[in-house]
């Protein structure tokens, strides 16, 4: 029997389209893999086999009628629990939202359905999707399938852990401060944070997002191959007018020189030797593919990171922090207190100044990309963190925040970032982050494919048990 769970999304879609496999066969195999792998990692926290098989049967029926169900027909994908999926609770890892059942699909979920994807299950996130770790008081603790002693990343830790373990070919994630990019890094796979406005998203189950969330939060794919990122990103980014930030920009921009900036220590970031080695390895892979790579300094990220944190906390301090007290999740309360200590309460002028400065930093970065269409930066200054180390002490939290400069600084400008895994240090993953100008995901894919081709492809793994 074919183990479809081992195959990338592009191959699954091709087999089903050629009628060499049925969507139902693939769905049954995916459910079996979920049953086998999930107990060790707790990545999927809600799934309904009857619903999965019904979706697959509808795909097979469409092909039988001669209809085209879409480019992802029959591909199993997972959905993060912080977006609306009709009939499922949008928990965001919270007990206080365990009964918040969505009445309609978020646009990103609707786009997956329109592309023919089969929604396999809902993946875990930390409470409030707040951390680069993945534990909450409702759904429990997600483990990294490669090494349970290290974090699977957060907040899309469940999505990345599931995808790395072969539970679905693609995982949906969200990113406001690294929540797609860091889990992909920690689990040894790939993840794309698209440009703001590329992928429509909106939860009808909740209130409108605060301005910081509107400017910085995006949905994007996590996958084991760059080709799968391409396929799923194209599906996710289809038009949906429910998101007023969605932009009808072309998928491919004008030709650009194959020139990349290698930024080892952006603004003095304390990049470890292992991470530096991965960056230089990625640069060599690009050079072997015909790129010119120059080691240079990156535009500012520290002040954008500070403004980002101020915008995060401004809404909480305006009243949303009551939810932290109501939920009483120990991890979330500790992390929130540490973030408050790092970020003084802004007055109206400071808030307006932060928004005003955003244009300045976007301009600096877009000018940089005129010279270097792609930048190679650390994903993190360190290898993936020891699990739960952010809540061990005030000092540990500060060290982790410093290591995550490239995660937190980028979203303020609405820029895209793509994490490519480059290999392992022992059994701990390592990789690099690629950056490009707004709406230039095509450049990121081209560079990422060259880096991917120069290494060993990421394959689904059996979870390592602690």
Q: Which residues of 62-74 are buried (b: 16+ CB within 10 A; e: fewer)?
A: bbeeeeebbbbbb
Catalytic residue among 22, 80, 129, 380: 80
Domains of the chain: 4-453 (3.90.1300.10)
Q: H or E element: which one contains 35?
A: helix 23-41
Q: How far is 329 from 391, CA to CA, in rounded Å?
A: 12
Q: Which residues pair with 221 in a beta bridge?
A: 172
Residue 98 among the catalytic residues: no
Residue 272 among the catalytic residues: no
pLDDT at 1 over 70: no
- The pLDDT, as a whole number, for residue 63 is 98
Q: How far is 344 from 342, CA to CA, in rounded Å?
A: 7
Residue 143 among the catalytic residues: no
Model pLDDT for residues 89-141, shown as the tens digit of each residue: 999 999 999 999 999 999 999 999 999 999 999 999 999 999 999 999 999 99
**With bands split at pLDDT 50, 70 and 90, how would you rate the model's confidence at 318?**
confident
Side-chain half-sphere CA neighbours of 419 within 13 A: 35
Share of the chain above pLDDT 70, in %: 99
Contact 53, 28 (CB under 8 A): yes
Catalytic residue among 22, 129, 143, 155: 155
- The chain-wide mean pLDDT, for the chain, equals 96
Q: How far is 136 from 205, CA to CA, in rounded Å?
A: 21
Name every residue whose Cβ is closer than 8 Å to that of residue 452 and which is 6 or more positions away in sequence: 190, 225, 226, 420
Mean pLDDT of all residues in 275-302: 98
Model pLDDT for residues 171-224, shown as the tens digit of each residue: 999 999 999 999 999 999 999 999 999 999 999 999 999 898 999 999 999 999
Model pLDDT for residues 45-86, shown as the tens digit of each residue: 999 999 999 999 999 999 999 999 999 999 999 999 999 999
- The pLDDT, as a whole number, for residue 2 is 86
Contact 44, 122 (CB under 8 A): yes
Torsion of CA 410, 415, 418, 424, to 10 degrees: -10
Model pLDDT for residues 143-176, shown as the tens digit of each residue: 999 999 999 999 999 999 999 999 999 999 999 9
Q: Which of 109, 130, 228 is nearest to 172 (CA)?
A: 109
- The pLDDT, as a whole number, for residue 151 is 98
Catalytic residue among 129, 156, 179, 219: 179
- The pLDDT, as a whole number, for residue 313 is 83
pLDDT at 263 over 80: yes
**With bands split at pLDDT 50, 70 and 90, how would you rate the model's confidence at 319?**
low
Share of the chain above pLDDT 90, in %: 92
Q: How far is 95 from 4, CA to CA, in rounded Å?
A: 35
């Amino acid at each position: 029997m074919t183990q479809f769970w081992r195959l990338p999304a592009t191959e699954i879609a091709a087999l089903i389209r050629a009628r060499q496999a049925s969507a139902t066969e693939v769905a049954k195999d995916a459910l079996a893999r979920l049953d086998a792998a999930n107990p060790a990692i707790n990545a999927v926290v809600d799934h309904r086999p009857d619903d999965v098989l019904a979706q697959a049967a509808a795909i097979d029926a469409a092909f039988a009628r001669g209809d085209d169900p879409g480019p992802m027909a029959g591909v199993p994908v997972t959905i993060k629990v912080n977006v609306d999926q009709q009939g499922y609770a949008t928990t965001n890892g919270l007990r206080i939202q365990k009964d918040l059942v969505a009445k309609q699909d978020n646009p990103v979920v609707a786009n997956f359905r329109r592309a023919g994807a089969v929604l396999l299950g809902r993946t875990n996130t930390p409470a409030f999707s707040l951390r680069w770790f993945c534990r909450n008081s409702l759904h429990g603790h997600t483990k990294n399938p490669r090494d349970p002693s290290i974090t699977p990343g957060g907040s899309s830790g469940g999505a990345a852990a599931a995808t790395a373990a072969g539970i679905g070919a693609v995982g949906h994630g969200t990113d406001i401060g690294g929540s797609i990019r860091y889990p992909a890094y920690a689990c040894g796979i790939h993840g794309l944070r698209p440009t703001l406005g590329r992928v429509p998203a909106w939860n009808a189950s909740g209130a409108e997002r605060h301005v910081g969330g509107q400017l910085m939060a995006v949905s994007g794919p996590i996958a084991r191959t760059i080709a799968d990122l391409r396929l799923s990103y194209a599906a996710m980014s289809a038009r949906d007018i429910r998101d007023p930030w969605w932009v009808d920009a072309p998928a491919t921009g004008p030709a650009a020189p194959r020139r990349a900036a290698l930024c080892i220590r952006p603004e003095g970031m304390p990049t470890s030797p292992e991470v530096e080695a991965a960056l230089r390895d990625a640069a060599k892979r690009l050079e072997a593919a015909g790129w010119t790579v120059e080691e240079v300094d990156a535009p500012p990220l520290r002040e954008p990171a500070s403004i980002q944190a101020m915008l995060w906390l401004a809404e909480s301090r305006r009243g949303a922090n009551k939810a932290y007290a109501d939920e009483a999740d120990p991890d979330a309360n500790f992390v929130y207190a540490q973030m408050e200590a790092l970020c003084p309460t802004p007055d109206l002028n400071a808030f307006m100044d932060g928004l005003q400065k955003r244009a300045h930093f976007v301009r600096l970065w877009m000018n940089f990309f005129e010279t270097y269409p792609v930048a190679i930066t650390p994903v993190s200054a360190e290898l993936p963190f020891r699990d739960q180390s952010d809540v061990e002490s005030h000092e540990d939290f500060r060290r982790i925040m410093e290591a995550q400069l490239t995660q937190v600084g980028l979203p303020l400008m609405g820029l895209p970032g793509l994490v490519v895994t480059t290999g392992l240090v022992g059994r701990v993953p390592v990789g690099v982050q690629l950056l490009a100008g707004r709406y230039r995901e095509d450049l990121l894919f081209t560079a990422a494919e060259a880096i991917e081709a120069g290494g060993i492809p990421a394959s689904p793994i059996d979870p390592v048990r602690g």
